[in-house]
């Protein structure tokens, strides 16, 4: 019993120390209409089953994310809000490694995730796919800096 409790306590300790990294405030979301238009026009993209990912790497910029779903596939606003919330949550918990890498290379990244399927997802699926996207981004960042 003792080792497992110690492990849980350790986890709590870790979480409370690095808490400030798991944020997603205004400055970390992609908010400018201009930037989003530029991303769709000029940015690069790849597909990963439920998502289409638009991204562009810039110098002297922050890591900013946006997400959305088509109102053609999801007629009700409730469903679109649901998807956006799930994607934001998954990104919030997993983005830190990307941030560290970008800090190392002194780069910024704009990224936009569009959900393209027609059925409502659950959190596990989104979480797994966002993890894969981050791995893909790692490869891309390393290639572009090299």
The Cα angle at residue 117 between residues 111 and 123, in degrees rounded to 5: 70
Nearer to RNA, 31 or 44 (CB): 31
Site residues for RNA, 116-145, by CB under 7 A, read: 122-124
Nearer to RNA, 113 or 137 (CB): 113
| Residues in CB range of 113: below 8 A, 6 or more apart | 51, 52, 53, 65, 66, 67, 68, 87, 91, 130, 133
| Alpha carbons 112 and 40: distance in angstroms, whole number | 9
Site residues for RNA, 23-82, by CB under 7 A, read: 23-27, 29-34, 36-37, 66, 68, 72, 75-78, 81
Nearer to RNA, 28 or 48 (CB): 28
Contact between 66 and 29 (Cβ < 8 Å): yes
Q: What is the contact surface with RNA in residues (CB under 7 A)?
A: 12, 15-16, 19-20, 22-27, 29-34, 36-37, 66, 68, 72, 75-78, 81, 84-86, 89, 92-93, 122-124
């Amino acid at each position: 019993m003792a080792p497992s409790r110690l492990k849980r306590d350790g986890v709590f300790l870790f979480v409370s120390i690095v808490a400030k990294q798991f944020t997603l405030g205004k400055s970390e979301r992609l908010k400018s209409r201009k930037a989003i238009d530029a991303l769709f026009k000029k940015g690069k993209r790849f597909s990963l089953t439920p998502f289409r990912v638009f991204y562009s790497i810039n110098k002297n910029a922050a890591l900013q994310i946006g997400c959305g779903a088509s109102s053609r596939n999801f007629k009700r606003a409730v469903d679109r809000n649901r998807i956006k919330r799930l994607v934001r949550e998954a990104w919030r918990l997993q983005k830190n490694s990307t941030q560290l890498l970008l800090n190392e290379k002194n780069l910024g990244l704009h990224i936009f995730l569009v959900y393209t399927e027609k059925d409502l997802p659950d959190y596990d699926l989104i979480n797994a796919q966002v993890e894969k996207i981050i791995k893909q981004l790692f490869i891309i960042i390393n290639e572009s800096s090299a």
